[in-house]
């Protein structure tokens, strides 16, 4: 252990790292229930997605632990799974096999960007306000998915959306589950989201909303999703914006999480450039995990900000991430439980994750309207057009145009001009889809 993870050098111990790994796993284990629930709406086999989710999380975390020696857990990302299911497949009409192909291509591009240093250039070129708006917008997108799937928000021909039946059993379960998660998290209970999901599922079984299918069994087959991506089908002009959005969100989300959690763990030096001998390996680890996840049959894998909970518990080396990976492997035997969890139990988790992401709005430069206006457009366009891609397009194009019209074009980094031009070209060539 000492030779592989250099525990003494990091001022930690095996016991501390194991506890930190368990803590991180408990805070992110909700993904093994939520991800199959979201991706199965595309027609993907729910059980196969469950196994793919566990394997992708385990593989990503093990690579991060053994290779980069960082205490950061990996799993299919929230937001990107919603983009995969509700925008790419549900909205744009691509098959889930083509969408997996797009994930694989985005992973290869992400790998190239990480290897060449372009990834850091992109991150440095995106305005802070826009980065915050993207996170908040994805949060609002998750919120409307949760509110819709739970029946709290429904279709209304007169007003577009309206309030659903709040006395319905499933809707009440979602509301109760949300309150439980918030209360547990406020009380600093580790694994609050996971506990909320399980308690809501138990209530759903008691009330007859869900049928109990057991807890433990041998893992189901991954064959329905394994190597099922349609790479040739993904190599079309129409999927151009899909890959672009995946890469952009992966860049912002994963890099921001890696740097944020690593700084909290004391793994990065302060200053304009983050220096650490393993930063390059960490950046490569999440890039590699995306391509592996596509082969297994799940949406993009990314670094989890919940890893901060493990760092708070003392995690400082890759042993923390290895423990997370091993626990995800063990979780594959919980397939019957995952199949029992209804949408009413995962909706509160989505809604709570949304509230955490929307907090990013506080980081927007509200005193500068040339920063605030594009940021607001980004955030509100995602839920209102039901598309993360449209939100990004609205934001980057409006940011460039507003800065240009106000004589402040020099403030716009080259990376932002490039992204804005790509989105403008996409609308000009392909229209709304």
149 part of a folded domain: yes
Q: Residue 179: what pLDDT?
A: 96
pTM of the predicted model over 0.85: no
32-62 pLDDT, tens digit each: 888 998 899 999 998 899 999 999 999 999 9
Q: In terms of residue numbers, what domain contains 37? A: 8-357
pLDDT value at residue 61: 93
The pLDDT of residue 56 is: 93
Is residue 368, in this structure, part of any structural domain at all? no
Per-residue pLDDT, 431? 57
Residue 433: pLDDT above 70? no
Task: Note whether residue 404 is domain-resident.
Answer: no
Q: Tally the domains of the chain.
A: 1
Task: Please write the tens of the pLDDT for every residue from 353-367.
Answer: 888 888 888 888 899
Helix axes 240-264, 414-430, angle to 10 degrees: 150
Predicted local confidence at residue 376, as pLDDT: 94
- Per the domain annotation, does 373 fall within a domain? no
Report phi then psi at 155, rounded to 5: -70, 140
Instruction: Give the mean model confidence (pLDDT) for residues 229-234.
Output: 78
Alpha helix stretches (DSSP H) within 271-368: 279-296, 307-312, 318-331, 335-340, 343-358
Per-range mean pLDDT, top range of 166-175, 258-267, 352-361: 166-175
The secondary structure of residue 313, as a DSSP letter, is T
DSSP string, 46-71: HHHHHHHHHHHHHHHHHHIIIII---
How many other β-carbons are positioned within 10 Å of the β-carbon of residue 338? 26
DSSP 240-283: HHHHHHHHHHHHHHHHHHHHHHHHHTT-S--SSS---TTHHHHH
Judge contact between 299 and 293, C-beta under 8 A: yes
Measured CA distances, 358 to 79, 343, 379, 380 (Å): 13, 22, 9, 11
- Asked if residue 363 belongs to a domain, the reply is no
Mean pLDDT (whole number) for 126-140: 82
The rounded distance, in Å, linking the Cα atoms of 88 and 144 is: 17
For residues 257 and 139, which has the higher predicted lDDT (pLDDT)? 139
Q: Is 432's pLDDT higher than 60?
A: no
Across-strand partners of 160? 156
Question: pLDDT tens digit string along 380-424?
Answer: 998 888 777 788 888 989 999 999 999 999 988 888 898 888 878
Q: What is the pLDDT of residue 214?
A: 80
The reported pLDDT for the residue numbered 252 is: 67
Residue 268's pLDDT band, with cuts at 50, 70 and 90, is low
- With 70 as the cut, is the pLDDT of residue 238 above it? no
Query: Has residue 103 been placed in a domain?
Result: yes
The answer to whether residue 415 is domain-embedded is no
Q: Is residue 43 part of a domain?
A: yes
């Amino acid at each position: 252990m000492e030779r592989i993870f250099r525990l003494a050098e990091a001022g930690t111990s095996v016991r501390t790292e194991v506890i930190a790994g368990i803590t991180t796993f408990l805070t992110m284990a909700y993904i093994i229930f939520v991800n199959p629930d979201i991706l199965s709406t595309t027609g993907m086999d729910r059980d196969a997605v469950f196994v793919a989710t566990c394997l992708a999380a385990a593989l990503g975390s093990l690579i991060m632990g053994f290779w980069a020696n960082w205490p950061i857990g990996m799993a299919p990302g929230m937001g990107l799974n919603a983009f995969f299911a509700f925008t790419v497949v549900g909205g744009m009409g691509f098959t889930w096999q083509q969408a997996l192909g797009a994930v694989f291509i985005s992973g290869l591009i992400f790998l190239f960007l990480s290897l060449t240093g372009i990834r850091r250039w992109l991150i440095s070129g995106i305005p802070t306000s826009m980065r915050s708006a993207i996170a908040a917008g994805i949060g609002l997108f998750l919120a409307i998915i949760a509110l819709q799937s739970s029946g709290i928000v429904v279709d209304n021909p007169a007003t577009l959306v309206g309030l659903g039946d709040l006395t319905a059993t499933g809707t009440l379960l979602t509301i109760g589950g949300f309150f439980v998660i918030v209360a547990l998290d406020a009380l600093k209970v580790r694994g609050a989201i996971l506990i909320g999901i399980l308690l809501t599922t138990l209530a759903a079984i008691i009330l007859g909303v869900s049928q109990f299918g057991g807890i433990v069994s041998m893992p189901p087959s991954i064959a329905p999703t394994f190597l099922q991506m349609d790479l040739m089908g993904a190599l079309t002009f129409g999927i151009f914006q899909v890959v672009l959005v995946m890469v952009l969100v992966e860049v912002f989300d994963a890099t921001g999480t890696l740097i944020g959690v690593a700084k909290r763990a004391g793994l990065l030096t302060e200053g304009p450039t983050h220096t650490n001998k393993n930063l390059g390996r960490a950046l490569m680890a999440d890039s590699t995990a995306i391509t592996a996840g596509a082969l297994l049959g799940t949406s993009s894998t990314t670094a989890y900000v919940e890893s901060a909970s493990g760092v708070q518990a003392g995690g400082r080396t890759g042993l923390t991430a290895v423990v997370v990976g091993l626990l995800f492997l063990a979780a594959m035997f919980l397939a019957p439980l995952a199949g029992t969890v209804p949408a009413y139990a995962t909706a509160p988790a989505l809604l709570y994750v949304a509230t955490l992401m929307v907090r990013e709005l506080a980081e927007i430069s509200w005193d500068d309207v040339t920063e605030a206006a594009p940021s607001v457009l980004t955030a509100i366009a995602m839920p209102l057009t039901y598309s993360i891609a449209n939100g990004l397009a609205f934001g980057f194009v409006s940011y460039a145009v507003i800065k240009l019209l106000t004589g402040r074009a020099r403030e716009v980094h080259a990376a932002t001009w490039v992204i804005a031009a790509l989105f403008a070209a996409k609308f000009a060539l392909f229209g709304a889809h």
